[in-house]
Amino acid sequence: MSRRIAVMGLGQMGWPIVLNLARKGAGTETIVAVDADPGRVAGLAEPGIAVTTDRNAVAGAEVLILCLPDGDVVESVLFGPDGLKDRLAPGATVIDLSTIAHGQAVRIGRALEDAGFPFLDAPVSGAPAGAEAGTLTVMCGGTHQTFAAMKPLLDRIGAEVLHMGPLGSGQLTKTVNNVIYDINIAALAEVLPMAVAMGLDPERLGRVVTTGTSRSYASQYFVPRILQGAFDEGYPLGKAYKDLVSAADVSVARGFPLPVTAAATTTYQMALRAGHGDRDKGAMVLPFEAMLGVAVRAPKE
């Protein structure tokens, strides 16, 4: 008997995830891909996948996978006036790949489970390239039983599919991962302009921080783009700010001191206040460049 899988959200991550679910499947499933934006749906096609803007297409789905911008959208999609919860098959499993706050994930999961729908908060890491290659890291929160049942499905999209603990544990893990990443980028934004202001060559400095002991995924991704003045290739600052808000919420609720995270948040806020919310995280360097009157750029050929 064919299993019906619905995926809601077909952005940079969602559509590649749908493709891997379909291409690595057993051929005994019906896969429905839904996005409310007609512009995203236009031109998307793949054998075995029904692509639509019609939410009614999720009716009867036994698995619903969400890949949405934030927690408020997730709650609205599931529980709003036109919510999907009441259209699913009885006992359907909901997997949320979105990045949302830990507390919100727990609240959503409990509401679904109280209504008879198993839930995994399962945010992913690996960027669009990882989504396309099917090599994402998937961090799951929920019961052991739900994780075990859904792991074969998640193995189609991830190289590392990990059960991190009870409800909310996936989102908490993603917050930790993202905050460490943000701290790396904030450090680059602060220090690189200082080094250039002191007379170091930006291009050679970039080679050091992407190959030496300070190298990180953040430096290897963002430094080449900073050197080229390219600040519009990654996830927008304004949308990614929710990760630092989530960390601050945990810090306040539990009384955990996070001084380095707080400093990185200030750097983030400087870029947002300077009007760079639509640009990627590399744009955190711009306020420091403006302050010091330098540009961390490779020479133009």
Query: Taking the complete model, does pTM exceed 0.75, yes or no?
Result: yes
Task: Please determine, for residue 117, whether its predicted confidence score (pLDDT) is greater than 90.
Answer: yes
CA 236/CA 241 separation, integer angstroms: 9
Q: How far apart are CA 284 and CA 193, in angstroms?
A: 11
145-175 residue pLDDT tens? 999 999 999 999 999 999 999 999 999 999 9
301 within some domain:
no
pLDDT reading at 104 higher than 90: yes
If one counts the domains in the chain, the total is 2
The pLDDT assigned to 299 comes to: 86
User: What is the Cα–Cα distance from 250 to 261, expressed in whole angstroms?
Assistant: 12
Contact yes or no for 113/84 (Cβ under 8 A): no
In a domain, 298, yes or no: no
CATH code for position 27: 3.40.50.720
162 shares a domain with 216: no
Is residue 299 one of the residues assigned to a domain?
Answer: no
Question: Which residues carry out catalysis?
Answer: 174
**pLDDT-derived band at 8, boundaries 50, 70, 90:** very high
Q: Which domain holds residue 157?
A: 3-166
Burial class (CB in 10 A: 0-12, 13-18, 19+), 72: middle
Handedness of CA 235, 48, 139, 80 (dihedral sign): positive
One domain, residues 150 and 231: no
Among 145, 166, 187, the domain boundary falls at 166
**Length of the chain counted residue by residue:** 301
Same domain, 251 and 185: yes
Helices (H), 255-297: 259-273, 285-292
Same domain, 132 and 155: yes
Return the CATH number at 267. 1.10.1040.10
Q: What are phi and psi of 164, to 5 degrees?
A: -95, -15
